[in-house]
A and B are shown apart, each in its own frame.
Chain A
Amino acid sequence: MDDQRPLFIPVILGTARKGRASAAVAKLVVSQIAARAGVTTELIDIATVPMPVDDAGEGIKDSRFSGLMAAADGLVIVAPEYNHGYPGLLKHVLDSCLKEYIHKAVGIVGVSAGGFGGTRVIENLLPVMRELGLVTIFWDVNVSNARKVFDESGGLRDPALLQRIDKFLRELLWMSRTLRYGREKVAVDQ
């Protein structure tokens, strides 16, 4: 393995809704990843991924999104909870790839306007992650009362969130490094 290659951990902002509070959360996570040595990141806003709605699955693969997923060593998905589930557009975008995800680590950041920190959207996403071939970590980030945690300009009001993101990222990066070694060095035939 080329150990000098930095890890690439993009952050998917999983909603296109106007006024989305998840945008501030995603930008904060990007900044925390970018501050680490040996890691690169990029914010992927699903609102900007061109996806037709008259088809679904790998038949509508977007080359840029596919390329980013293929280059990724791990993923962060920032997902708001809509009616106890995940945004339909997030699933539509995720379903457009498969081989790009296989044996890569994923961590989920749940966001809610209320007090449950997106726990239900995280639980609903776990079986989807598994079927996509992603490997979920055991840390989540739960952001409750999202509009109180950030001010109107996206500034963080609750610094305790940074400590939770740090633990989440430490685990995600360990899994991403380990799984990259496996993908590149450990054959399924061995």
Chain B
Amino acid sequence: MTNQIAPMTCETCGERMNAHAEKPVVPVSGDEVDRADPVIGVIEEVHQCPHCGAVRSRRV
């Protein structure tokens, strides 16, 4: 069972964006260092708008 990714909304056109990637990245802030998985680091979710192509991401 996997965690579902919370949707993001396009800031340009208001469309619901498609969550297409979970990229492992190195932690950069103190908060991220504290909660990072020791092997994976933290996850950057990447979303793209199906209407205008805009890209957003969030680190979780």
Chain A contacts to B: CB under 8 angstroms: 1-2, 5, 57-58, 70-71, 73, 98-100, 102-103, 133, 180, 182-189
Q: Let me know if B36 is at the binding interface, CB within 8 A.
A: no
20 contacts between A and B (CB under 8 A): A1-B50, A2-B53, A57-B28, A58-B28, A98-B25, A98-B57, A100-B55, A102-B23, A103-B20, A103-B21, A133-B21, A180-B53, A184-B20, A184-B48, A184-B50, A185-B50, A186-B20, A187-B5, A189-B5, A189-B19
CA distance A183 to B28 in the complex (A): 26
Main secondary structure of the interface of B (DSSP, over half): strand
Chain A residue at smallest Cβ distance from B52: A2
What number of B residues sit within 8 Å (CB to CB) of A? Answer: 23
Q: A133-B21, A188-B21, A188-B22 are in contact. Are A183 and B5 (CB under 8 A)?
A: no
